[in-house]
């Protein structure tokens, strides 16, 4: 949080407070504040959530930063050590065998919010816990005989291999996205057909019942 002055942080929290009360988007707050201060949107977002976490632990800090205003400080669930290690290992294994980080994460969850959380955690691990990452790389090498090294620059081959790999991964991502959208459309169509079929069954049952009642009514009249 040293990257933001106390006044800047207070401005950020006030903007977030106003956005929540007015039904605005926090994402737009982060983006606007990042442009204004010349910082990365992800960094602004991280500072915001670190502040919320501190507010959970220190109510006096909330009073200091927001006065009488109150942000809805719900519990922020952090990764435990096991979850972080598993996330790191799964991504590194996936990339080792030709997948993109994005594709691996999309295979782990259908939730955009959770996918963003996974992506940010992976980036933070690479940036802040290099020793841990390198140990995980070695572990994967011991098990599979090879492992993608996120710190190693690609070989100078004119970039052909990397471009080809990126294009293939991008194609796979688009296919996966198209499949998800098609599945959603199919589910919606099935639901509509089931609803239509139910209405037809009800109409048919009603028509049959009416015909049977008319038949017996006519039979009674003829017998009289």
DSSP 55-122: HHH-HHHHHHHHTT-----PPPPPP-HHHHHHHHHHHHHHHHTT--HHHHHHHH-S-HHHHHHHHHHH
pTM of the model: 0.42
How many residues are present in the chain?
Answer: 224
Q: What is the mean predicted confidence (pLDDT) over 71-89?
A: 66
Q: Give the model's pLDDT for residue 64.
A: 75
User: What is the 3-state composition of the chain as percent helix, strand, coil, each rounded to the nearest 5?
Assistant: 75, 0, 25
Q: Give the model's pLDDT for residue 75.
A: 45
Distance of CA 99 to the CA centre of its chain: 18
Percent of the chain with pLDDT over 90: 12
Q: Give the model's pLDDT for residue 76.
A: 46
Categorize the per-residue pLDDT at 213 as very low, low, confident or very high, splitting at 50, 70 and 90. confident
More confident residue, 88 or 172: 88
Instruction: Give whole-number Cα distances, 122 to 20, 111, 133, 177, in Å.
Output: 28, 16, 10, 21
- Report pLDDT digits (tens) over 97-112: 988 888 888 887 777 7
């Amino acid at each position: 949080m040293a990257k933001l002055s106390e006044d800047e942080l207070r401005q950020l929290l006030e903007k977030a407070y106003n956005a929540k009360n007015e039904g605005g988007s926090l994402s737009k707050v982060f983006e606007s504040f990042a442009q204004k201060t010349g910082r990365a949107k992800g960094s602004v977002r991280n500072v915001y959530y670190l502040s919320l976490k501190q507010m959970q632990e220190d109510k006096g800090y909330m009073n200091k930063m927001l006065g009488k205003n109150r942000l809805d400080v719900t519990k922020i669930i952090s990764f435990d050590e096991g979850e972080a290690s598993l996330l790191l290992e799964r991504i590194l294994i996936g990339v080792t065998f030709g997948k993109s980080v994005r594709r691996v994460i999309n295979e782990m969850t259908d939730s955009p919010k959770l996918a963003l959380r996974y992506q940010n955690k992976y980036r933070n691990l690479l940036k802040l816990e290099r020793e841990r990452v390198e140990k995980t790389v070695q572990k994967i090498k011991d098990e599979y005989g090879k492992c993608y090294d996120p710190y190693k620059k690609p070989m100078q081959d004119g970039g052909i291999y990397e471009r080809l790999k990126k294009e293939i991964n991008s194609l796979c991502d688009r296919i996966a996205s198209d499949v998800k959208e098609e599945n959603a459309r199919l589910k919606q169509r099935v639901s509509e057909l089931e609803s239509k079929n139910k209405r037809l069954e009800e109409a048919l049952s009603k028509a049959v019942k009416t015909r049977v009642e008319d038949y017996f009514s006519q039979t009674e009249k003829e017998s009289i």
